[in-house]
Structure 1
Amino acid sequence: MNFKRFGRPAIIAIVAGLALSSCAANEGDVATTGDEAASTLSGTINGAGASSMGAAQEAWRAGFQTANPDVTVNYDPTGSGAGREAFIAGGTDFAGSDSYMSDEELAGTFAACAPDSKAVDLPVYISPIAVIFNVDGVDELNIDADTLAKIFAGTITSWDDAAIAALNPDATLPATPITAVHRSDDSGTTKNFSDYLGQTAPDVWTAEASDTFPFQSGEGAQGTSGVVDAVTNGVGTIGYADASQAGTLSTAKLMVGTDFVAYTPEAAAEVVAGSPLVADRAADDLALELNRTTTNPAEYPLVLVSYAIVCNEYADAAQGELVKAYIGYIASAAGQAVAEEAAGIAPLTSELEANVATVLATVK
């Protein structure tokens, strides 16, 4: 993975220091009964944001609360935009977001953070975005970026359109109108979907990547579950959703180079591994510039990275320690394994885990 702000020796040194300080901290933070160590953490952590990571958050909450029975973790999957707004206003202790904070957001103030401190983006969740569809008689679908962009921009309106037929010569495509379902709320999934189409089909998808769906076309639905429900219960529908919530719906293969590629966690992880950090941001911000234009068929470019957005210093230091412990758990190898089982995510690489741990070491 291409990280520019931390050299590997620095990471190793800091993570080694973390291990030592963790041992020392554990001696004061746990009470030992027999052979078992009991957590002394207590309190409530409130988070809100990306609905894509809803299943993972449920698994993380359960795992963390089992290990820390006096801690309650709440997570409201309101959508990335709403989650960031709530965090900025001080209504939550952290946000989950499928898009990193904008420069405008970073330039503002954060009510839960200490004066003169800021918030940072920490990647904790990697998942493909699936193009889901429900078309009578069609179980498999190949699609390229131009055609997908035209469907969601509203310029391809029938399933037997010549552009779709050319990509699917063996399919029997009905003359059914296309209903393209998008998110009606501000959504990081939409921003990632729009970013993919803007980079791979720029002549068609002329809108800037944004949490808000940019065209007056198709049908809007609230949240990931709303999109999945609308596609499932509609006729001739197509939509986009975090792959972990695609369920039994059919999913399209995307053209990557000259091949049609199905989503897999492994293919999503490959794209992230080759993506650099966003330039010109603070040294402790780990926002990623995803490589959407890859032609490598081992990579699936329609991918989202969800971030835990936290203060680098909390106004309430005790609350900061709770958040630090929870985010540390979800970004750890153990937490990632829990989410992989529950939601089928692509776990963070060991290098990315180390970078997140390095930043968390400075959170207070």
Structure 2
Amino acid sequence: MKRSTRSRTALPAAAVLTLALSACSAANEASTEPAASGSASEGGTATAVSGTLDGAGASSQQAAMQAWQAGFTGANPDATVNYDPAGSGAGREQFLAGAVDLAGSDAYLDDEELAAAQERCSGGTALDLPVYVSPIAVLYNLEGVDSLQLSPATIAGIFDQRITSWDDPAVAADNPGVTLPARPITPVNRADDSGTTENFTEYLAAAAPEAWPHEPDGEWPVAGGEAAQGTSGVVSAVGAGDGTIGYADASQAGDLGVATVRVGEEFVGPTPEAAAAVLDTASPVEGRPDGDIALEVDRATTESGVYPIVLASYHIACSTYEDAETADLVKAFLAYVVSEEGQQAAADNAGSAPISDDLRSQVESSIGMIAAAG
């Protein structure tokens, strides 16, 4: 995805989500224990915190961030969290420049960015923490077809515009016993550079490499077809046609058909449980600093009950902050974000998939590393 530089002073007021969060700084520079995860009334913190936390990044997290801020605010009315949904690249750049304390990103930091983080993080390092998982659904609108199964190669052929009719033998082979109309297929893709497109094309390249000749990219790589702006645009375009198919956040599917996808010997739908399970089968990225949880999702998995077309998004924080107030505030906020209540709040508001208990334990251990310099 394209990257742009945004400074703290450039944060547009209309784009910044600001909520008051709660009281009393808890300056404990030496603590390596994660802040306690509690109820929403406790805000996920052992003690109340105060101060201002500035964040920026992935727009995919915007609805979840609203829920996390709201859940945190009851216990922490003397703190403020700002989040500018300027995009993953802008969030990473602002974080590395020291303009924000926390970044939201649909991609973990690369090696060059990690090196830059050493200076930004007061001699510490940056921590990539997976906190948000959203299944990407293959949506369709096809009169008379209420259930649709698709293999990775068939999905790739459709979106590469080589499978052009719904009664194509490849589609029929995935759907034995289903009467498919001899109707043209109209694939709908995102017109804008998006994390959803990048994750969808990553899936196609990994799960159907012989059928998808394009590199993963945030910009749609196939010319022609129908393009729409944003998630809402794709959903609207699919819903307005007959014979249309697209990809979008599963929570936005509405009344559209949702295809199940072949994984191994079964077809799996984009349920929260199946989407969250893909992170438990992911591999840690090699050569990362202690506490960093960058993950390589296995898009070609054959594990039962796993849905591999997901957007996995991170919060990126420092292991070391210049002052205790910032360290405590970031640590407390992240502890709420990954708590059971925080994850459920995001699921209710954004349709995301709560992370598993095993992954939560790993992230909490990394949060426990956050401290002030000195």
TM superposition score normalised by structure 2? 0.78
For 1:238, the aligned partner's letter is I
Identity level (%):
47
- CA drift at 1:277: 0.9
For 1:45, the aligned partner's letter is D
Q: How many residues align?
A: 333
* Aligned equivalent of 2:192, options 165, 184, 205: 184
* Aligned equivalent of 2:139, options 122, 132, 138: 132
Q: Tell me: CA distance 1:357–1:177, structure 2 relative to 1, closer, same or farther (3 Å).
A: closer
Q: Deviations over 1:289-312 (max 9, x none)?
A: 222222233222222321111222
Question: Equivalents in 2 of 1:146, 1:79: separation in Å?
Answer: 30
Name the structure 2 match of 1:348.
Answer: 355
> Is the aligned partner of 1:269 residue 2:276?
yes
Q: Tell me: CA distance 1:333–1:233, structure 2 relative to 1, closer, same or farther (3 Å).
A: same
C-alpha contact 2:32 2:369 (8 A) present in aligned 1: no
Question: Equivalents in 1 of 2:136, 2:189: separation in Å?
Answer: 14
Question: Equivalents in 2 of 1:230, 1:271: separation in Å?
Answer: 29
For 2:276, the aligned partner's letter is A
> Is the aligned partner of 1:175 residue 2:183?
yes
Question: Equivalents in 1 of 2:253, 2:107: separation in Å?
Answer: 20
Q: Deviations over 1:266-293 (max 9, x none)?
A: 1223222222211222222101122222
Structure 2 residue matching 1:190: 3-state secondary structure: helix
Q: Deviations over 1:213-239 (max 9, x none)?
A: 333343444433333333333453322
Name the structure 2 match of 1:10.
Answer: none
Structure 2 residue matching 1:240: 3-state secondary structure: strand
* Aligned equivalent of 2:109, options 96, 101, 106: 101
C-alpha contact 1:128 1:263 (8 A) present in aligned 2: yes
Name the structure 1 match of 2:295.
Answer: 288
C-alpha contact 2:142 2:242 (8 A) present in aligned 1: yes
* Aligned equivalent of 2:48, options 13, 34, 39: 39
| 1:148-167 alignment, distance < 5 Å | 148-167=155-174
| CA RMSD between the two structures | 3.0
| 1:238-253 alignment, distance < 5 Å | 238-253=245-260
* Aligned equivalent of 2:62, options 54, 64, 70: 54
* Aligned equivalent of 2:309, options 302, 308, 314: 302
- CA drift at 1:144: 0.7
C-alpha contact 1:90 1:110 (8 A) present in aligned 2: no
* Aligned equivalent of 2:235, options 224, 228, 248: 228
Q: Tell me: CA distance 1:358–1:343, structure 2 relative to 1, closer, same or farther (3 Å).
A: same
Q: Tell me: CA distance 1:351–1:312, structure 2 relative to 1, closer, same or farther (3 Å).
A: same
Q: Tell me: CA distance 1:107–1:134, structure 2 relative to 1, closer, same or farther (3 Å).
A: farther
Question: Equivalents in 2 of 1:56, 1:218: separation in Å?
Answer: 32
Question: Equivalents in 1 of 2:279, 2:49: separation in Å?
Answer: 36
Q: Deviations over 1:289-344 (max 9, x none)?
A: 22222223322222232111122233555334322221221012221222233334
Question: Equivalents in 1 of 2:260, 2:362: separation in Å?
Answer: 32
Name the structure 2 match of 1:83.
Answer: 91
Q: Tell me: CA distance 1:50–1:40, structure 2 relative to 1, closer, same or farther (3 Å).
A: closer
Name the structure 2 match of 1:195.
Answer: 202
Q: Deviations over 1:64-100 (max 9, x none)?
A: 1222122233334444334334434444332222222
Q: Deviations over 1:223-258 (max 9, x none)?
A: 333333333334533222222232332111101123
Name the structure 2 match of 1:69.
Answer: 77
Question: Equivalents in 2 of 1:166, 1:22: separation in Å?
Answer: 52
Question: Equivalents in 1 of 2:290, 2:59: separation in Å?
Answer: 24
Name the structure 1 match of 2:11.
Answer: none
> Is the aligned partner of 1:143 residue 2:150?
yes
Mean alpha-carbon deviation: is it higher for 198-207 or for 37-46?
37-46
For 1:263, the aligned partner's letter is P
Q: Tell me: CA distance 1:219–1:118, structure 2 relative to 1, closer, same or farther (3 Å).
A: farther
Name the structure 2 match of 1:325.
Answer: 332
Task: Point out 4+ residue stretches in structure 1 off by more than 6 angstroms.
Answer: none
C-alpha contact 1:45 1:71 (8 A) present in aligned 2: no
Name the structure 1 match of 2:5.
Answer: none
C-alpha contact 2:133 2:353 (8 A) present in aligned 1: yes
For 2:68, the aligned partner's letter is W
Question: Equivalents in 2 of 1:248, 1:85: separation in Å?
Answer: 38
Structure 1 residue matching 2:342: 3-state secondary structure: helix
> Is the aligned partner of 1:258 residue 2:277?
no
Name the structure 1 match of 2:319.
Answer: 312
Question: Equivalents in 2 of 1:234, 1:224: separation in Å?
Answer: 16
Question: Equivalents in 1 of 2:112, 2:161: separation in Å?
Answer: 31
Structure 1 residue matching 2:134: 3-state secondary structure: strand
TM superposition score normalised by structure 1? 0.80
